[in-house]
Structure 1
Amino acid sequence: MAPPRAYWKGSLKLSLVTCPVVLYPAATSVEKTKFHMINRETGNRLKQQMVDAETGDIVEKEQKGRGYEISKGEYVEIEKEELEAVQIESNHTIDIDNFVPRDEIDRRYLNNPYYIAPDGKAGADAFAVIRDAMKDKDRVALARIVLTNREHIIAIEPLGKGLLGTTLRFPYEVRDEEDYFDDIKSPKISKDMIDLAVHILDSKASHFDPSKFKDEYETALKTLVKRKAAGKPVKVVEKEEKPDNVINLMDALKASLKGGKGKSTKRASSSRPHVARKRPAKKAARSSARHRKAS
């Protein structure tokens, strides 16, 4: 098997200690099923064209430019040379600025992961020293790196024999949770309910094991493509209707603890405000009539 192609090459620098390193993307979407747009009549693949939003005319390559919308429908054009002037040229160095406790890093800032490995034998000793020192103090390095003409902050931590580098989002890229949580009510919950919920959590206690993650949709897509390519019929499954009734929260907790689903016929009392209404019979009848007409 050929060695993977490095995404970035340069040096990892800690004060006066420098070692050559390479970066490899730690995640990939190569295995995901992807589709192309095709012409149903010819079976040929389609290609996209840029069209003027106002005139509808096709815009040729030499006519394309970049513009920033300063007001509705008004753009300031940015030339390629002007854009290049503000881009940061990489010095191919990962400059470590400081080290922080691992648990202080807000997970919302985590972006793209990369594997960092020594580039050749020359810097293997320096690489090991930096890695093992971080492992000993359980610290994460915060460094700066230039990728695709933009400077990024990257968090670096030991991972096996190498290092894991994860680019971090800038504060302006992370939304404030208060904008979404301020309107959440704070109802009074009884201790019995909390205790039941805790029992459910305990009964489902486990350990993080990504090998158990199953992408059911991806599996279904692969099966669909395989059957279609083989000329086999594909059965369309009708979606099941969700239950109309809502049961009492305490009953739901008790049923969950027992592994049951509760009785769908049990209605909420007047003290239970969330009661779903059944679908009107007329609507269902109209749907059936439309189906017969279409047939």
Structure 2
Amino acid sequence: MAPRANWKGFLRLSLVTCPVALYPATSESEKISFNQLNRQTGHRIKYLKVDTDTGEEVPNEDIVKGYQFEKDQFIEVSKEELEAIALESTRTIEIDEFVDKADIDPRYLIRPYYIRPDGKVGHDAFAVIRETIREIDKVAIGRVVLTNREHIIALEPMDKGLVGTLRYPYEVRSEQEYFEEIQDVKVTKDMLDLARHIVNQKAGRFDPEKFEDHHENALIELINQKRAGKPITPKERPRGDNVVDLMDALRKSVGSAAAESKTAKKLTKKVKKAAAGQKEILMPIAGKKPAKEVTPKKQTAGTRRKSA
């Protein structure tokens, strides 16, 4: 029995969509790990979540997320409010483009996952996407939200499923426990021809600078709206309908991909310009000092941004 999926949603290439599940392809359970002990008693150390002022332990149900906009001044953000701004990539892996694997810096290939159809539907659409990527010998680049952060994900075919990158052999789980239930689907030449045409229209070169962290921008907008007292409007959830007429969806996707390619260069320039001078000014609360500018911190090797 395969482990529980880390993420479930939809894989989409233009108008072709199928439900998928995402599983970690590696495991560190075989590695030696240590616990922290009290030298005097030999007992394990336990960390408690306490109130910084009262020193009392706080139960998990009373802990909420908060953004600090001034020293010791916070804006509370609930789970429901985070759900309200959920990006489409929270529930859908949208394939944005296809690139040569050689274009991808190996430093970006981390956290490999196995991807397979979720449930009994969608195997036909999954097979078309998988075999198209296999035939053109490229890597599909998309976006997905994991652990409340949007990530770039590179998809490659492996056996009957899709996979990310490689690790040490003892860290890698067998793909069979994930892929053995995937249906054997015969993909026709007409389907592959149409899918290849879509891919050619989405072809590009891997450039991490043109990718924008949509989830980070959505969080900034959420905080701004809460400080301004504006209501949080939930985004429409993506539809998960299975493709009934796959050929029809592929034909319509060809026209859709052509329209997207016309604006791709404009969007890339817009994103690069925004990334170069991106800043959001939080609106001041009455009676409070003006809020500081929220500017995305520049990422450096070996550092990570703290989650809210």
Q: TM-score, normalised by structure 1?
A: 0.48
Higher RCO (Cα < 8 Å, 6 or more apart): 2
Q: TM-score, normalised by structure 2?
A: 0.46
Rg comparison, structure with higher value: 1
